Structure 1
Amino acid sequence: MSKKSVWVSLAMGLALGFVGGCTSGAEESATDTPQAANVAAKAAPTGARPRPPISPTVYKVPVQGSPVAGPEDALVTLVEFSDYECPFCARGHNTVKQLQQRYGNRLRVVMKHHPLAMHPRARPAALAAMAAGAQGKFWEMHDVLFANAKALGEEDLERHAQSVGLDMVRWNSDRNDPRLAEQIRQDEALAMKLGATGTPAFFVNGRFISGAQPLEVFTGVVDEELAKAEALLKTGVQPSEVYARIIEGGREEGASAKAQQRELPTQKVEVGNAPSRGAADAPVTVVAFSDFECPFCARAVPTLKALEEEYAGKLRVAFKHQPLAQHPNAQTAAAASMAAHEQGKFWEFHDVLFANQRKLDRASLEDYAEQVGLDVAKFKAALDSHKHDAHVAADAAEATRVGATGTPTFFINGRPVVGARPIDHFRRIIDEELKKAGR
Structure 2
Amino acid sequence: MSKPSVWVSLAVGLVLGFVGGRVSRPADAAGGGAEVRGAPSAAKAPGARQRPPVSPTVYKVPVDGSLAAGAEDALVTLVEFSDYECPFCSRGHVTVKQLQQKYGKKLRVVMKHHPLGNHSRARPAALAALAAGEQGKFWEFHDTLFSNARALKDSDLERYARELGLDVERWKKDLADPRLAERIRQDEALAMKVGATGTPAFYVNGRFINGAVPLEVFTGVVDEELGKAEALVKGGVRPTEVYARVMEKGVERPPAPAAPAAQQELPPQKVDVGNAPARGPANAPVTVVAFSDFECPFCSRAVPTLKTLEEEYAGKLRVAFKHQPLPNHPNAKLAAAASLAAHEQGKFWEFHDLLFANQRQLDRASLEGYAKQLGLNEARFKAALDSGKHDAQVTADASEGARVGASATPTFFINGRPVVGALPIDHFRRIIDDELKKSGVAAR
TM range (shorter): 0.5 to 0.7
2:16 & 2:128 partners in 1: Cα distance?
A: 36
The equivalent residue for 2:202 is 202
Tell me, yes or no, if the aligned pair for 1:132 and 1:141 is still in contact at 8 Å.
yes
How far the C-alpha of 1:165 sits from its partner, in A, is: 1.1
Alpha-carbon distance, 1:30 to partner: 5.4
**Counterpart code for 1:260:** P
Q: In the aligned structure 2, how far is the partner of 1:61 from the partner of 1:299?
A: 22
AA at the equivalent of 1:24 = P
- Does 2:66 align with 1:76? no
Superposition pairs for residues 28-427 of structure 1, below 5 Å? 31=33, 54-255=54-255, 259-260=256-257, 262=259, 264=260, 295-296=297-298, 420-422=410-412, 424-426=416-418
What stretches of structure 2 of length at least 5 have no aligned partner?
1-10, 35-50, 264-294, 303-325, 333-407, 421-444
Opposite residue 243 of structure 1, the aligned amino acid is Y
Cα distance between partner residues in 1 of 2:330 and 2:226: 51
Q: 1:55 to 1:427 in 2, by over 3 A?
A: closer
Alignment gaps of 5+ in structure 1: 1-10, 33-50, 268-292, 301-350, 358-417, 429-439
SS of alignment partner, residue 222 of structure 1: helix
Could you say if the C-alpha distance between residues 67 and 16 of structure 1 is closer, same or farther in structure 2, counting changes exceeding 3 Å?
Answer: closer
Distance 1:298 1:70, change over 3 A: closer
* Separation in structure 2 between the aligned mates of residue 99 and residue 299 of structure 1, nearest angstrom: 30
1:389-432 residue CA offsets vs partner (Å, 9 max, x unmatched): xxxxxxxxxxxxxxxxxxxxxxxxxxxxx99432654499xxxx
Code of the aligned partner of 1:31? G
- Where does residue 26 of structure 2 map in the other structure? 24
For residues 133 and 231 of structure 1, the distance between their equivalents in structure 2, rounded to whole angstroms, comes to 35
TM-score of the two chains, using structure 2 as the length reference: 0.53
The Cα shift of 1:24 comes to: 2.9
Indicate the RMSD between aligned Cα atoms, in angstroms: 3.4
Q: Distance in 2 between matches of 1:115 and 1:254?
A: 21
Question: The residue matched to 2:78 in structure 1 has which SS?
Answer: strand
Write the distance in 1 (CA, Å) between the matches of 2:52 and 2:176: 43
Deviation string for 1:103-143 (max 9, x for gaps)? 00000000000111101111110000000000000000000
CA distance in 2, matches of 1:83, 1:261: 30
SS in 2 for 1:56: strand
Q: Distance in 1 between matches of 2:300 and 2:184?
A: 27
Say how many residue pairs are matched. 258
Distance in 1 between residues matched to 2:152 and 2:122, nearest whole Å = 8
Cα deviations by residue, 1:288-346 (Å, 9 ceiling, x for unpaired): xxxxx97228999xxxxxxxxxxxxxxxxxxxxxxxxxxxxxxxxxxxxxxxxxxxxxx
Query: TM-score, normalization: structure 1?
Result: 0.53
| Counterpart-to-counterpart distance in 2, 1:134 and 1:142 | 13
Amino acid at match of 1:201: A
Percentage of pairs with the same residue = 67
The higher radius of gyration belongs to 1
* Offset of residue 53 of structure 1: 6.5
Secondary structure of the residue that 2:257 maps to in structure 1? helix
The amino acid that maps onto 1:164 is: L
Q: Residues of 2 paired with 1:221 and 1:214: CA distance?
A: 12
Preserved contact between residue 77 and residue 205 of structure 1 (Cα < 8 Å): yes
